[in-house]
Amino acid sequence: MTILFKADSVVSGAEKWRATLKQRLPDMAFRTSDEPGDPADVEYVLCFRATPGTFTGMTNLKAILATGAGVDGLFLDPGLPECPIARIVDPWMAEQMVGWSVYAVHHFYRRFGDYAALQAEGTWFEYDDWEAAPPKVGLLGYGAIGAKVGAALQALRFDVATWTRSPRDIPGVASFSGPDGLMAFLGQTHFLICLLPLTPETEGILNARTLAALPKPAYLINLARGGHVVTADLVQALQSGTLAGAFLDVTEPEPLPPGHPLWSMPNVRITPHCSGPTNAATAADQVADNIRRAEAGRPMLNLVDRGRRY
């Protein structure tokens, strides 16, 4: 069987994938986009993003194995073949994103940015403006990753709410859903964490109108996709005080160009799309398992619903 690995600025490491998959599927032929060979040989493609033409000539393609949790990048190709698509659902990745989210919330909640500024000027000063009520965190999206982030923050006694497509019944969590529930959800959220899939419905969901619905102070923590946010509206909200701060692992455009205002705002922290890296060592089991399943004519796991795009 022939597998083609397409590296990307987000998911690279072809040699690691080759080595980890070879252990699990010793008979496979592993190709990379540098040496793709005859596209008609390719039966499985491993990729994070597809550009137009990625699948040209792959007349024997059996499945696409996305190398990430989010598959929006595949739908960039209007020629995306009609074969099954599976995505990565890896507890290790989710745990990394839990750690990143908890850090980001605490950056603002425990004023680490403010203390860094005080340290820079050599000032020993303690802010003592604690609220008695637990801080309200709102999770946009509650999938495999959102559920773990929510549970971790609940364990730290944050007051967690979620906004999802359809209503959820989660113990101890206020559930908001659908377009009608969005503004009410935002109205009570001080720490807004975006973990949504990027789809035509969620693109630009954070814009001047929705950001203005947040109470003060409010902070945006985005580890989903830059496309969820209208960047010009975010900059404006940060400049005007509508938003007190933002912690961004993803941006639009990505990477941000030199000199972009977000780079230098004191109330913004940026990391380079690294909150939940795809780890070949932990993800290869499910990729190999899905290939074995497809070869045996059994359904793959973690299949993407093409209508929903996640």
By the 10 Å C-beta count (0-12 exposed, 13-18 middle, 19+ buried), 195 is classed as: buried
Q: Among 107, 228, 269, 273, which one carries the catalytic annotation? A: 273
Rg (CA), the chain: 21
**Is the CB of residue 68 less than 8 Å from the CB of residue 75?**
no
Query: Which span sits near ligand GLV by CB under 6 A: 66-74, 206-214, 233-241, 256-264?
Result: 66-74
| Residue 107 is among the residues annotated as catalytic for this protein | no
| Residue 225 is among the residues annotated as catalytic for this protein | yes
State yes or no: residue 226 binds ligand GLV (CB under 6 A): no
State yes or no: residue 70 binds ligand GLV (CB under 6 A): yes
Site for ligand GLV in 260-289 (CB under 6 A): 276, 278
Residue 138: helix, strand or coil by DSSP?
strand
Judged by beta carbon, residue 90 or residue 159, the one nearer ligand GLV is 90
**Is the CB of residue 135 less than 8 Å from the CB of residue 158?**
yes
Cα–Cα dist 130/120, whole Å: 23
Helix or strand run (H / E) with residue 136: strand 136-140
Q: Among 31, 225, 269, 309, which one carries the catalytic annotation? A: 225
**Is the CB of residue 142 less than 8 Å from the CB of residue 94?**
no
State yes or no: residue 69 binds ligand GLV (CB under 6 A): yes
Q: How many CA atoms lie within 13 A of 250 on its CB side?
A: 24
Judged by beta carbon, residue 69 or residue 160, the one nearer ligand GLV is 69
Contact string (CB under 6 A) for ligand GLV, positions 7-26, x = contact: ---x----------------
State yes or no: residue 227 binds ligand GLV (CB under 6 A): no
Q: How far is the CB of 125 from ligand GLV (least distance, A)?
A: 38
Site residues (vs ligand GLV, CB under 6 A):
10, 68-70, 276, 278
Query: Which residues are catalytic, by number?
Result: 225, 273
